Structure 1
Amino acid sequence: AIESALGAAYRKDFGNRQQNIKVKFDPDTGDMQMWDVKIVVEDIPEETLEAAQEEMAARREKALEEGRELSEEEMEDLVRFNPKTEMMISEAKEVKKAVSIGDVLEIELSIPGDFGRMAAQTAKQVIIQKLREAERNTVFEDFKEQEGKIVQAVVQRRDRTGTVIVDLGKITGFVPQKEQIPREFYKPGARMRFYVVKVDMGTRGPEIILSRSHKDMVKSIFEQEIPEIENGDVVIKGIARDPGNRSKVAVYTDDESIDPIGSCIGQRGSRITTIIDQMGGEKVDIIQYNDNPVDYIKEALSPAKVSHVELKEIDGKNIADVHVAPDQFSLAIGRGGQNVRLAAQLTGYEINIVDMSDDGKEINSEDGEEKIDETLSEELEERAESEEGKSTDDEESEEKE
């Protein structure tokens, strides 16, 4: 930072903008040396350079009219010369006779005297800028290592676009609307856990995108709270999530001495309770993974009991027809189709829930909530009428007796 500042100060007082200054500074003695560093290139006629610059200006103007920036590929065929970092060979030979194209030429510069006030101010600004850049780089590297992990942050405010801005200590993070949980309240001052989706270096420094709805947030919390998952004894094979409402997590182990579901639940539900609290009360179903797709689909649709499953493939798509008893139909589907949709996400199969009654109603995992609610409401009405009819028959039977 100091050497860069001294180079800027030299250009301000004694040099010019076309100098590519290299500085060697001795902090013990205060002595310094400076060079103008150039790469030796072939001679280029001035007319050729002017023609290339005019052509580049024309191409850039055309690109702007098309609403885009001129790409490097579009400029590759044009002759270019940068006087700050390059020197043509004829001029270079005046400085050093034994020089060839491609050589790096270091021309020592004399320092006429002390720097003036303006040069000192320039050096100060450069040092401050370098320190800020170093701090930004440090923060960027720290948070880059946190990608895919959980961090704690304090909610600050919500901006005009709906993005929630949070305080991460050294820097602020952003939670876009699509990464928020519907109906979740982000109260200023509240301390919450967030999943680090992405860390990029922007023009103003590190940009940290956080999430509360990402399905990998569930995985990270499980890894933190369940030692058997952290050390690899129990493996998460799949996650399906309806953020804020319910998640299904499929777990597996090849160690017969370990109960994968029991490991996740903990004694008296202690582990799963902690996980649910960290996810803002979102319900979590722990599913036993199975290599057999039929058994896996049955597990994924729990708590519903499945009678039998038929697998088929149509146009390259895996489809499962799942037959259930009438009293298990609505349970297999779930409120608004939540249970069947999560089971489909988890298993990778499009699932048809088939009612085994005479009506043979069907609901597909890709059906909309409106159609699902309409079908379920019809089923409830029919069930109520059936119960009412049964009750009337019983009463008539009692009267006859």
Structure 2
Amino acid sequence: MSKELLGALDVLETEKGIQKSVVIEALEAALVSAYKRNYDQAQNVEVQFDQKKGDIHVFAVKKVVDQVYDSRLEVSLDDALAISKGYEIGDDIKFEVTPKNFGRIAAQTAKQVILQRVREAERNIIYDQYSQYENEIITGEVERQDSRFVYVSLGKVEAVMGRQDQMPNETYRIHDRIKVYVTRVENATKGPQVFVSRTHADLLKRLFEQEVPEIFDGTVEIMAIAREAGDRAKVAVRSNNPDIDPVGTSVGPRGQRVQTIVNELGGENMDIVEWTDDEAKFIANALNPAEVLDVIFDPNNERACQVIVPDYQLSLAIGKRGQNARLAAKLTGYKIDIKSESEASAIMEADQAADEQPVSDDDVTEAPAAEEDTTVAPEAADDVSADAATSETADNADETSDATADDSSAE
């Protein structure tokens, strides 16, 4: 058994990367328990494994005392001095108590320990390996799918992708190879658990880093991302080099760079806008492809503003189901109230008239009908009212928005 055990330890270290010392330490601890269990012993026991010969020795450890109360745990000073004159009270003495038939028990225990340690070591190796990929992109293969998860093979581990992390416009089939973003890695009791996503905003960031060298090396920086996975995304970029156009660089020649990302994400539309310190200009850029005439900040709320757009571009600014305004609000972090030019002028004239005309206590004025709300808060994902324009105008504007967005990306 000794030669076989030594050979098995060498194989483990060579093929599995499990250090021999780790297995031996676990084996010695397991043999202590096995000895006590099989021989009904309660004394302090220590097991030593000879790494050269593979022999196993069991020792009973007893403490030197003046008066012995438990012979299994203690030895008298006189008996200790009979063994060696150097012993003193408080010293520990080891007495070998290796049973003759302990080899069979040791072999069974060694097998169990080795299997257990192999599993644990493989889990730790896998955890250490894949924890390095946390917050990064990795390519995997779809293995199976159930009502809760899509299971993606990453090689040595099977990652899970929850429903909220699955693209609504994608169908995952067995053996499909997909790029996923590793959101977190957990070292669970049953083994490492890797969670991946296709909808995370940082997936888009990593894809841009792969396709745009200037973003990877930091010359162009992604400042913010607002994304509705599978449908549309807005990306704000800035350049740390005044000679480099951040939008043009990100789009690439004839839109090749951004088109590669769009294809990877199943046709998700991409608006790339320039980030600037001028918040009014940044808000106007974020509402691309709509034209913005003016941005008026709310003096009572530093994170709110009113945006004035031409009448014919109101639906374009709001977007399909409020999407353009919603993404712009997420991108900038501002609560955006979109008004058409004529509506804003009417409100301004009404306010001026009210200021100029004195109001008598006897005057009773009927309150005007409430304006339809076109305000979008950054955190309000679905509370945008796009009814400011007729449905026909909105549909035409949607088509204009898609065409304009594509032209913006290609420039």
Q: TM-score range by the shorter chain?
A: 0.7 to 0.9
5 Å-filtered alignment, 1:124-163, equals 124-160=111-147, 162-163=148-149
Residue-by-residue CA offset, 1:248-279 (whole Å, 9 max, x unaligned): 11111131121111211111211111111222
Matched, 1:374 2:396: no
5 Å-filtered alignment, 1:299-318, equals 299-314=285-300, 318=303
What is the aligned-residue identity percentage?
A: 38
Matched, 1:121 2:134: no
Q: Contact between 1:149 and 1:195, CA under 8 Å: does it hold in 2?
A: yes
Q: Which residue of 2 aligns with 1:12?
A: 34
Q: Which residue of 1 aligns with 2:404?
A: none
Letter aligned with residue 115 of structure 1: F
Distance, in Å, in 2 between the alignment partners of 1:255 and 1:37 is 72
5 Å-filtered alignment, 1:55-70, equals none
5 Å-filtered alignment, 1:2-401, equals 2-13=24-35, 23-33=47-57, 98-99=89-90, 109-160=96-147, 162-314=148-300, 318-358=303-343, 362-366=373-377, 372-377=385-390, 380=393
Secondary structure of the equivalent of 1:258? coil
Q: Contact between 2:60 and 2:97, CA under 8 Å: does it hold in 1?
A: no
Secondary structure of the equivalent of 2:329? helix
Structure 1 stretches of 5 or more lacking a match? 40-87, 384-401
Residue-by-residue CA offset, 1:173-221 (whole Å, 9 max, x unaligned): 1111111222321112211111000001111000111101111111111
> Displacement, 1:145?
0.4
Letter aligned with residue 363 of structure 1: T
Distance, in Å, in 2 between the alignment partners of 1:98 and 1:222 is 72
> Displacement, 1:123?
1.7
> Displacement, 1:283?
1.2
Q: Normalising by the residue count of structure 2, what TM-score does the alignment of the two structures yield?
A: 0.71
Distance, in Å, in 1 between the alignment partners of 2:156 and 2:292 is 52
Distance 1:35 1:111, change over 3 A: closer
Secondary structure of the equivalent of 1:357? helix
Distance 1:368 1:163, change over 3 A: closer
Residue-by-residue CA offset, 1:282-338 (whole Å, 9 max, x unaligned): 111111000010000010001100000001254x55101000011110111110111
Distance 1:138 1:308, change over 3 A: same
Q: Contact between 1:34 and 1:110, CA under 8 Å: does it hold in 2?
A: yes
Count of equivalent residues: 327
Q: Normalising by the residue count of structure 1, what TM-score does the alignment of the two structures yield?
A: 0.73
> Displacement, 1:25?
2.8
Distance, in Å, in 1 between the alignment partners of 2:266 and 2:61 is 59
Q: Contact between 2:336 and 2:376, CA under 8 Å: does it hold in 1?
A: yes
Distance 1:18 1:343, change over 3 A: farther
Distance, in Å, in 1 between the alignment partners of 2:274 and 2:381 is 28
Distance 1:164 1:20, change over 3 A: farther
Distance, in Å, in 1 between the alignment partners of 2:272 and 2:61 is 65
Secondary structure of the equivalent of 1:219? helix
Distance 1:374 1:257, change over 3 A: closer
Q: Contact between 1:181 and 1:213, CA under 8 Å: does it hold in 2?
A: yes
Q: Which residue of 1 aligns with 2:16?
A: none
Letter aligned with residue 30 of structure 1: G
Residue-by-residue CA offset, 1:223-267 (whole Å, 9 max, x unaligned): 122111111111111111111111111111131121111211111
User: How large is the Cα RMSD of the aligned pairs?
Assistant: 3.1
> Displacement, 1:24?
4.1
> Displacement, 1:13?
4.1
Distance, in Å, in 1 between the alignment partners of 2:285 and 2:226 is 13
Q: Which residue of 2 aligns with 1:73?
A: none
Q: Contact between 2:138 and 2:181, CA under 8 Å: does it hold in 1?
A: yes
Q: Contact between 2:32 and 2:46, CA under 8 Å: does it hold in 1?
A: no
Residue-by-residue CA offset, 1:132-166 (whole Å, 9 max, x unaligned): 11011000001000000001111122223x21111
Structure 2 stretches of 5 or more lacking a match? 1-22, 64-69, 78-86, 348-371, 397-411
Secondary structure of the equivalent of 2:387? helix
Distance, in Å, in 1 between the alignment partners of 2:151 and 2:43 is 43
Distance 1:229 1:368, change over 3 A: closer
